[in-house]
Structure 1
Amino acid sequence: MALAILGCASALAADKVTVAVTAIVEHPSLDAARAGVKKALEDAGYKEGDNLTFEFESAQGQPATAAQIAQKFAGEKPNVIVAIATPSAQAVVSATQDIPVVFTAVTDPVSAQIVTDRDHPGGNVTGISDFSPLEQQLDLIREFLPSAAKIGVPFNPAESNSIALLAALKDLGKAKGFEIVEAPASKSADVAGAAQNLVGKVDVIYLPTDNTIISALETILAVGAENKLPVFSAENDTVKRGAIASVGFDYYQVGLETGAIVVRVLKGEKPGDIAVRNATGTDLMVNAKAAEAMGVTIPKSVRDRAKQVIE
């Protein structure tokens, strides 16, 4: 009987897993992605405090800290490391070649050198990309502001995700009659100044999925409201916080999709055999209060098809 009980306990212990999660910064979109990952694990039977250890650390916007966290996790050897956002994914991939890595909220994993091939990533890495639906977002700006010609884009030049988006924006913007005006900000403290420098130079501000910029969102919104300069965004969570509108991903859903991949890895699939894919589903969200504050009228066509209008 004692041997049977011991064997049972060993089996339970073997079922316990550790998932270590790191994010470059905490803001609502990335937090929602983390929550989605955790919910997917729970739905698959992995319960924190029971058979799951779920560890999380934020780099607080510092790439050097992201590297330290990655090294720490690599030394702890969890079953899977989940890396949220491009800088954290780059740090984790540099830290380990054997621990399974699942990334999420990464704009362009190939240009960021996280994987070499989306369809056949190989090695120990796979995940979910959140490359923005840029054409829909530019069309939305045009629908709001038919005569707009110049779009200001605050971005962090050190974030490879932002460089990839900026290049795509320039190409697509030119085809749609927009000039893209760059507003670099290397750290959160520089974001307000970058936004202020756009006043009088552009017709609208567009916020990409740049972690430095989004972490300082309120400073840009203040510039927009004070100068009647409309602020649009690539992220729906920023619309809830005060941007005018976005066609963007639900990052909780992105997290659920990411968590489903984590479960596959925990059940024995090799990350390198799982194709990287883009997140699915986008929603149109509009903030009526923000539109009024920034002097913009919401077109009826936009209001009619929006999933949510925040009054």
Structure 2
Amino acid sequence: MKKSVAKIVTLGLLMGLTAGCGNSSTASSGEVAAPSTEAKEGMKKVAIVQYVEHPSLDTIRESTIKALAEQGFVEGQNITIDYQNAQADQSNLNSIASKFVGDKADIIIAIATPAAQSVASATTDIPIIFSAVTDPLGAKLVENMEAPTSNVTGTSDAIPVDQVFELCKELTPDVKTIGFLYTASETNSQSVIEQAKALADKYGFTYEESTITNTSELQQAAEILAGKVDAIYTPIDNGIASAMPVLAEVGKTAGIPVYVGADSMVADGGYATVGINYEDLGKKTGEMAAQVLNGTSISEIPVATLDNFYKVINKTTATAIGAPADSEGATIVE
């Protein structure tokens, strides 16, 4: 059955949702913004750090806070929330992690792999729940997914690369060479690309590889890569996701499909993916955080990986590149 949804998320809505969180702050380079309210006596301190703003991570944060409330932890009633956004800057991450430790947060929720790695390096005492970490083992956040042995557990957004390749074969069967594009410093992306390389031969693909160090390099790298390949694949890469319209436009201009790792990247102009629902991921993250606030030990909370994958295709992009805009069971965005 085909479902059609419209892309209605606007910058103003995202800003409104962010502003609605009383302690929300965005850090500029080298600085950490102070929360707007002080914790009242008896309230638990919930600290949230997000690596960068993009729709998938924003959805996780909003759904996490909603799930906490559903579990009885409501901001302003029995918890305070100190939200900090690092704007993809490592020095900001380090400063935010130090702030949370100094503030003696009761729990830290870290959204995206770099954020989780920073806070995990800063404390072995404060419980940490991560979210949107593609490869928790590879990122060295946990040693055992089923029974974490440190102060860290959380939710993974790992997706099946093989299903993305199967979708590629179905929708664009003439693709022979795929270009892998990702941020060199993101361990989550490195892990997925290694899987993709290992699977390429099975699906009859050859591949080219290109990396960037920051989003200012994205357009040039994508344009060069597009001239060598029949399709581009980029994983759940936080840097590229934050600048996805740039990559999407390169794909449209070149007339090639850009397969991606997240539904939000399709909504921002990528052609297609097989991914997870980030609202569900945020909900699970919030439920796990509530367990910790209720006294459950981290060691009793296994890392959670979602397995309810779904196909997403961008109809507008499909039309622009002359590719199919439908697949059995796919969600269609415009």
State TM-score, norm by structure 2.
Answer: 0.85
What residue in structure 2 maps to residue 56 of structure 1? 83
- Structure holding more helix per residue: 1
- 8 Å Cα contact 1:106-1:128 kept in structure 2: yes
Q: Percent identity?
A: 37
Q: Which residue identity lines up with residue 207 of structure 1 in the other structure? A: T
Is residue 268 from structure 1 mapped to residue 295 from structure 2 by the alignment?
A: yes
CA distance in 2, matches of 1:52, 1:246: 37
Q: Which residue identity lines up with residue 55 of structure 2 in the other structure? A: P
Map Cα deviations across residues 264-296 of structure 1 (whole Å, 9 max, x no partner): 100001112311121242221111111011221
3-state SS of the aligned residue for 2:225?
coil
Map Cα deviations across residues 11-35 of structure 1 (whole Å, 9 max, x no partner): x943x21211101101000000001
- 8 Å Cα contact 2:314-2:325 kept in structure 1: no
CA distance in 2, matches of 1:309, 1:131: 22
CA distance in 2, matches of 1:146, 1:280: 26
Q: Name structure 2 gaps, 5 residues minimum.
A: 1-39
What residue in structure 2 maps to residue 305 of structure 1? 329
- 8 Å Cα contact 2:179-2:209 kept in structure 1: yes
What residue in structure 2 maps to residue 118 of structure 1? 145
What residue in structure 2 maps to residue 158 of structure 1? 185
State TM-score, norm by structure 1.
Answer: 0.92
Map Cα deviations across residues 178-205 of structure 1 (whole Å, 9 max, x no partner): 1232110110101111111112211111
What residue in structure 2 maps to residue 256 of structure 1? 283
CA distance in 2, matches of 1:271, 1:68: 25
- 8 Å Cα contact 1:183-1:194 kept in structure 2: yes
Alignment of 1:218-257 (within 5 A): 218-257=245-284
Name the Cα RMSD after superposition: 1.4
What residue in structure 2 maps to residue 23 of structure 1? 50
1:199 pairs with one of 222, 226, 230: 226
CA distance in 1, matches of 2:250, 2:132: 27
Is residue 35 from structure 1 mapped to residue 58 from structure 2 by the alignment?
A: no
CA distance in 1, matches of 2:264, 2:157: 14
Query: Which range moved further: 252-261 or 177-186?
Result: 177-186
What residue in structure 1 maps to residue 20 of structure 2? none
- Give 1:230 deviation, angstroms: 1.2
CA distance in 1, matches of 2:193, 2:173: 22
- 8 Å Cα contact 2:179-2:226 kept in structure 1: no
- 8 Å Cα contact 1:126-1:275 kept in structure 2: yes
CA distance in 2, matches of 1:179, 1:24: 33
Q: Which residue identity lines up with residue 22 of structure 1 in the other structure? A: V
The structure whose Rg is larger is: 1
- 8 Å Cα contact 1:169-1:180 kept in structure 2: no
Question: What is the number of equivalent residue pairs in this alignment?
Answer: 295
Alignment of 1:115-154 (within 5 A): 115-154=142-181
- Give 1:95 deviation, angstroms: 0.2
Query: Which range moved further: 31-40 or 269-278?
Result: 269-278
Q: Which residue identity lines up with residue 53 of structure 1 in the other structure? A: T
Q: Which runs of 4+ in 1 moved over 6 A?
A: none
